């Protein structure tokens, strides 16, 4: 069975922050097509602030996720502040007492993050939001583990499903948030939240994979 160490894995969150910051302009550009165009700016601001606090600290993954979630929730606002803020703090709470994280713990962490989002937002799959990325990605991870795949293989399934979920938003009409006011005009454009969520999940998987060891 594969697992990775919680301690000193805070660097995973640093590369996640780098990924968001690199995509600042891209995320704002797609947001600008059906939203107000500040998704990349706000995400980069929050993830950048969190990265500054994590750098050089030797944090565990749980500590780094908690730092990121708290910054998003207390300093960013908008819609993404509370949504990602609650997701990352829930991730952190789930794993804070675990020294080693196996596929079961990782799955529980993802589910608790999703539950947190669903407790404050009212979106469903198909509404053209980040849930269109997150929900199928979690399902793909669980399905892979359930069919006997390794943690590493399940992470690959998670990434593939996240990307497919993100792409599915191109053909959806927004049902919630500012883009929902556009009706049919939101067709043909990726949802910015679904896109940033795919970046987050991919980066998380890429950070975990090389750290996996047999227990």
Partner 1 sequence: MQRFINNPDEVVEDTVKGFVKAHADIVRLSAQNPRVIAARHTPVNGKVGVITGGGSGHEPAFIGYTGRNMLDAVAVGELFSSPTAKSFLDAAREANGGKGVVCLYGNYAGDNMNVKMAIKLAAKEGIEITTVVANDDVCSAGPEEREKRRGVAGEIFMWKCGAAKAAEGASLEEVRATAQKAIDNCRSIGVGLGPCTLPSVGHPNFTIEPGTMEVGIGHHGEPGVRVEPLRSARDVAEEMAKIVLDDHQLAAGSEVAVIVSGLGATPLNELYILHDTIESEIAGRGLTIYRVYIGNYFTSLEMVGATLTVMALDDELKRLLDVDVQCPAML
Residues that bind partner 1 (CB under 8 A): 28, 32, 35-38, 41-42, 45, 73-79, 81-83, 85-86, 120-121, 176-178, 181-182, 185
What is the closest distance, in whole angstroms, from the C-beta atom of residue 66 to partner 1 in the complex?
15
Q: Side by side, which strands form the sheet with 2-5? A: 100-102, 2-5, 213-214
Nearer to partner 1, 165 or 177 (CB): 177
What is the closest distance, in whole angstroms, from the C-beta atom of residue 67 to partner 1 in the complex?
15
Nearer to partner 1, 144 or 174 (CB): 174
Residues in Cβ contact with 142 at an 8 Å cutoff, skipping those fewer than 6 apart: 107
What is the closest distance, in whole angstroms, from the C-beta atom of residue 174 to partner 1 in the complex?
11
Nearer to partner 1, 105 or 182 (CB): 182
What is the closest distance, in whole angstroms, from the C-beta atom of residue 80 to partner 1 in the complex?
8
Main-chain dihedrals φ then ψ at residue 126, nearest 5 degrees: 100, -5
Nearer to partner 1, 22 or 99 (CB): 22
What is the closest distance, in whole angstroms, from the C-beta atom of residue 50 to partner 1 in the complex?
14
Nearer to partner 1, 39 or 141 (CB): 39
User: Do 80 and 72 touch, CB atoms closer than 8 A?
Assistant: yes
């Amino acid at each position: 069975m594969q697992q990775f160490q919680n301690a000193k894995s805070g660097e995973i969150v640093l590369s996640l922050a780098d990924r968001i910051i690199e995509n600042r302009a891209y995320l704002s550009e797609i947001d600008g097509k059906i939203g107000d165009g500040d998704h990349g700016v706000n995400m980069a601001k929050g993830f950048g602030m969190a990265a500054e606090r994590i750098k050089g600290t030797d944090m565990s993954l749980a500590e780094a996720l908690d730092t990121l979630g708290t910054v998003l929730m207390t300093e960013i606002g908008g819609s993404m502040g509370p949504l990602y803020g609650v997701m990352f703090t829930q991730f952190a709470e789930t794993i804070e007492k675990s020294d080693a994280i196996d596929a079961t713990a990782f799955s529980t962490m993802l589910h608790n993050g999703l539950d947190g989002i669903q407790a404050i937002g009212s979106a469903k799959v198909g509404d053209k939001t980040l849930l269109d990325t997150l929900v199928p990605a979690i399902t793909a991870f669980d399905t892979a583990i359930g069919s006997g795949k390794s943690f590493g293989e399940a992470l690959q399934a998670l990434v593939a499903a996240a990307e497919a979920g993100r792409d599915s938003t191109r053909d959806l009409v927004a049902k919630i948030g500012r883009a929902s006011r556009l009706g049919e005009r939101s067709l043909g454009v990726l949802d910015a939240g679904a896109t940033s969520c795919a970046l987050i999940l991919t980066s998380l998987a890429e950070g975990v994979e090389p750290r996996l060891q047999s227990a």
